[in-house]
Amino acid sequence: MRTITITLNGVEVSGYEGMTILELAKEIGIEIPTLCYDSHLTSVGACRICLVENEKTKALVASCVTPISSGMVINTNSPRVIEARKTIVELMLSNHPDSCMVCDEGNHCQLRKIASDLGVRLVEFERLRTPLPIKELNPFIQRDLSKCILCGKCVRVCQEFEIIGAIDYSFRGYDSKPSTLHEKPLEESECTFCGTCVSMCPVGALSEKGRKYRGSPEKSVDTTCSFCGCGCGFYLETKDDEIIGIETKDNNSFNGIS
């Protein structure tokens, strides 16, 4: 496999043909924020949070879908990059409900974390999206699509990883949302309620039904699922010596994702 050398944040680094800028940055320990990216799924460059600057062409490119090429000069945190990321986050937050204090995701919300890291607090853009009703007819999953940022993770994991295809994008423009065919209830679709889409959602648009937000956990306990013999690992989140949630453990899970 051919080796390709680029300049990344002023340092010459080498990767392999076919690698993206994001993959190379992660390999050498440079943090680039992402929302729609996951190493298990096909990259689509939907959220644009991972923008970096190509200093030769002066273009801002999505690092998750841009392959490295010889002689590239990439800056992951230039003033233009930071300003663009802030604008993108503010646009997302302008269509995101202010319900984080009682959201199931709580401090796990990746959008709020990135906003905090970028110093985004007050959003001056006018709100455009109309709040959508919470759908909780099925026994397992609650859908609050007013929080959806259209990252597409739920759609892609259902189609590419679980190979079920119960959900896809529906409608266009401001009406776009992940949905079942003809917006049927999940229990009338091909959904097997595996919960992988819930574990992939970065903002709490999909959550476990019946789970009440009880604040941030005090600690996470590494344990193993005893349901079958696969030995999937996960974390039990506890507070006041009570279990308040479960988090997946990518580095020790049977399927590597949930």
Give per-residue pLDDT as tens, 56-113: 999 999 999 999 999 999 999 999 999 999 999 999 988 887 766 556 555 578 998 9
Give per-residue pLDDT as tens, 138-195: 778 888 888 899 999 999 999 998 899 999 999 988 888 999 988 888 888 899 888 8
Q: For residue 135, what are its two tokens?
A: 């759908």
Sheet holding 3-8, edge to edge: 11-16, 3-8, 73-75, 51-54, 59-62
Q: What is the pTM of this model?
A: 0.81
Domains of the chain: 3-77 (3.10.20.740), 214-258 (2.20.25)
CA gap 149, 236 in Å, rounded: 27
CA gap 234, 160 in Å, rounded: 22
- Choose among 148, 109, 154, 152: nearest CA to 130: 148
